[in-house]
Structure formats: structure tokens, C-alpha cells
């Protein structure tokens, strides 16, 4: 009997019907970071800066002209930091769960875990709870094994 037959099968959660605001934000953050990291978004930002710079002479390089770009870039930077952090948190969590699967079943990693970063946080919570049960079970077996060997 191999290692994967001894342990309970992992249940991959089905798509949840009741999505929370957090789940919707996660999906928005993934889509937005994908688009904002594209060549087109970079080109649009570059074009905006060029238009702003070109408008400078016409506006006599006024205080309002300078303040417009400062305010715009400040707000954009603030929102992008939050968006990037949200996306990184989800990706890191999904990668850790994938690594857990590889450690648990080195010779037989399941393809169902491909693209789990697209699951909702609720679905990732369910998977994480399953892996925590597996870890606890393994730890309990390990602590019993040395005692059994010493008694014989």
C-alpha cells in the first residue's frame, strides 16, 4: 500500500454559489493586475504622461498643471500597491498549497491542483483545512513510531 492510499483523498471544492465581497474583489484584483501589467496599459500610461507634458506650455506650467500629475500618480500608486499585494497574497497561498500536494504525493501529484489560484478564498480555506488534517495525522504517526520501536 503506498502513501496516497493510506491517507484520505483530498476534496477539491466545487464552485461556491454564494460568493462574498472578498471573493469578488479577489477576482477583480486578478483581472485588473493582468490588464494593468500588459503592454497596452504601459503604453496608455506613457501616452498620458506625454499628453500631460505637452499641455505644460499651453498651461504655462502652472501649479495646477503640476498638481494634476502629482495627485493622479499618487492615487494610482496607492491603488496599485493594494492591488498587487492582494494578487501576491493569493498567488503565494496557492503556490504553497501546490507544494504541499507535491510533498504529500511526490510520485503522484494530481493535475486537479493546476490553476488553483483561480479558486475563491473559501475554496482555498477548505483545501488548507484538509492539508492541516493530513499534517496532524502524519505528525501523530511520527510521534508514535519511535516509541513503538523502543518497546520492541
Average pLDDT for 106-115: 69
10 Å CB burial of residue 90 (0-12, 13-18, 19+) is: buried
| Cβ-proximal residues to 76 (8 Å cutoff; 6+ apart), any chain | none
Report which of 34, 30, 20 is spatially closest to residue 125, judged by C-alpha positions: 20
Highest mean pLDDT among 9-18, 36-45, 89-98 belongs to: 36-45
Q: Percentage of the chain with pLDDT > 70?
A: 78
Higher pLDDT, 99 or 149: 99
Domain extent listing, the chain: 22-147
pLDDT digits over 46-86, tens only?
999 999 999 999 989 999 999 999 999 999 999 999 988 98
Q: How far apart are CA 53 and CA 69, in angstroms?
A: 9
Higher pLDDT, 10 or 150: 10
- Quick one: pLDDT band at residue 29, thresholds 50, 70, 90? confident
Amino acid at each position: 500500500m503506498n502513501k496516497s492510499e493510506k491517507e484520505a483523498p483530498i476534496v477539491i471544492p466545487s464552485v461556491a454559489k454564494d460568493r462574498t465581497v472578498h471573493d469578488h474583489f479577489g477576482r477583480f484584483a486578478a483581472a485588473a493586475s493582468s490588464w494593468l501589467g500588459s503592454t497596452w496599459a504601459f503604453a496608455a500610461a506613457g501616452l498620458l504622461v506625454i499628453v500631460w507634458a505637452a499641455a505644460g506650455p499651453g498651461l504655462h506650467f502652472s501649479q495646477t498643471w503640476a498638481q494634476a500629475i502629482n495627485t493622479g500618480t499618487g492615487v494610482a500608486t496607492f491603488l496599485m500597491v493594494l492591488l498587487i499585494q492582494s494578487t501576491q497574497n493569493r498567488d503565494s497561498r496557492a503556490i504553497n498549497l501546490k507544494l504541499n500536494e507535491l510533498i504529500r504525493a511526490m510520485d503522484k501529484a494530481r493535475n486537479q491542483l493546476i490553476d488553483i489560484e483561480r479558486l475563491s478564498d473559501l475554496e482555498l480555506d477548505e483545501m488548507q483545512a484538509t492539508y492541516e488534517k493530513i499534517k496532524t495525522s502524519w505528525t501523530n504517526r511520527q510521534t508514535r513510531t519511535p516509541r513503538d520501536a523502543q518497546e520492541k
